[in-house]
Amino acid sequence: MKRALIAIAFGLLLVGCGATSPPESSPETTSESGPSEAKPPTGSETRRAFAPVRDGAPVIAGISYGPFRAGQKPGGPDPTPEQILEDLRILAPRWGMIRLYSSRGPAEIILRTIRDEKLPIAVMVGAWIAPDDAKANALEVVEAIRLANAYPEQVLAVSVGNESQVEWSGHRSKRDLLIAHIKTARAGVKQPVTTADDYNFWNKPASHAVADEVDFLLLHAYAMWNQQTLANAVAWTETTIASIKKEHPDLPIVMGETGWATELNPEGDEVNYIKAPAGEAEQKQFFTEWTAWAAKVKQPYFYFEAFDEPWKGSDNPREVEKHWGLYNEDRTPKMVLKEVVP
């Protein structure tokens, strides 16, 4: 679970990883790609399946991918095409799908590289939704629609909004506007459409208004952020997923984020929420146990995350938000990937 200070860091992603939008006359409810009204997926017969396949087998393991290296950040400077190709070649052997959080910035370069290099990676494209920027939100949605249609073999799904409804979010947005954007995206693409949020939104009755509009539920749940011990982390995550399934019994669930950080600022606000130790050995234990459980029960997921992202959060180099990667910022693998194959 990412608390308010973390949500603010993610909110910065809007600055440089955005999209292209609906007409300014009604940016919150229409798009250049079609009407905002689409038949809501209120039953399994109307939902579009989230069913990634690689080499004839279902794909379970995915990973969240932020491409920004030292000295780079959303809004620029962006990574070069050569750096993106390097990243994707690192990721392709291990993960069959990646998650992006925005449709602008490097998103199209990522998709084009996957297509041109014939890399076996499917992409869930994001459309970042912020509370106070209707024009940027509209741009994000239209660009996500454009990318999904321009790269139909690469785009697996579209996720509209990230942690925009949970009460602690630093970029909480109006529910009716989020729903309008989801409808716009769903009317404009053939792929399944969803929105990502924390379990503390999806476990509330109010979440059903949003759940009725999506093809599958994209769930965030962090044992580390919820004061869990490392020994109990996967069991807590399993119980949390089960509780969301009980709340939404007819809705397929994909894990959108879970992970374990390798660094923690002992003087930062994060210590109010994180009680278990951070570290590479701890990350290895969580990753090993989580991936084994997910494979056993065939739970699709996007692990958070691929590479450390030093642009996030404050200037303190130990801040936890900078250190969730399975690889260091310089693209060298951490302990877990030197010894474990997901």
The b-or-e profile of 188-220 (16+ CB within 10 A means b, else e) is bbebbbbbbbbbbbbeeeebeebbebbbbbbbb
pLDDT in tens, 216-253: 999 999 999 999 999 999 999 999 999 999 999 999 99
DSSP 77: S
The per-residue pLDDT of the chain, averaged, comes to: 88
* Residue 8 belongs to a domain: yes
pLDDT of residue 36: 43
pLDDT in tens, 55-106: 899 999 999 999 999 999 998 899 999 999 999 999 999 999 999 999 999 9
Mean pLDDT across 249-262? 98
Gap between the Cα atoms of 3 and 1, Å rounded? 6
* Residue 34 belongs to a domain: no
What would the two tokens of residue 159 be? 């996720």
What would the two tokens of residue 273 be? 């929420």
pLDDT of residue 45: 63
pLDDT in tens, 102-138: 999 999 999 999 999 999 999 999 999 999 899 999 9
* Residue 49 belongs to a domain: no
Domain residue limits at 127: 4-28+57-339
For the chain, the domain total comes to 1
pLDDT of residue 2: 46
* Residue 92 belongs to a domain: yes
* pLDDT over threshold 70, residue 340: no
**Which of the residue ranges 11-15, 146-150, 264-268 would you say has the lowest mean pLDDT?**
11-15
* Residue 136 belongs to a domain: yes
CATH number, domain of 173, equals 3.20.20.80
Tokens 């996500």 sit at which residue? 144
* pLDDT over threshold 90, residue 32: no
Of the pLDDT bands very low, low, confident and very high (cuts 50, 70, 90), residue 43 is low
* Residue 48 belongs to a domain: no
Query: In 3D, which of 128, 129, 91, 94 has the Cα closest to residue 110?
Result: 91
* Residue 39 belongs to a domain: no
Mean pLDDT across 305-327? 95
Gap between the Cα atoms of 87 and 312, Å rounded? 19
Mean pLDDT across 308-326? 95
pLDDT of residue 102: 97
Backbone φ/ψ region at 83: left (φ over 0), alpha (ψ -120 to 50), beta? alpha
Mean pLDDT across 34-43? 49
* Residue 329 belongs to a domain: yes
pLDDT of residue 342: 45
* pLDDT over threshold 70, residue 35: no
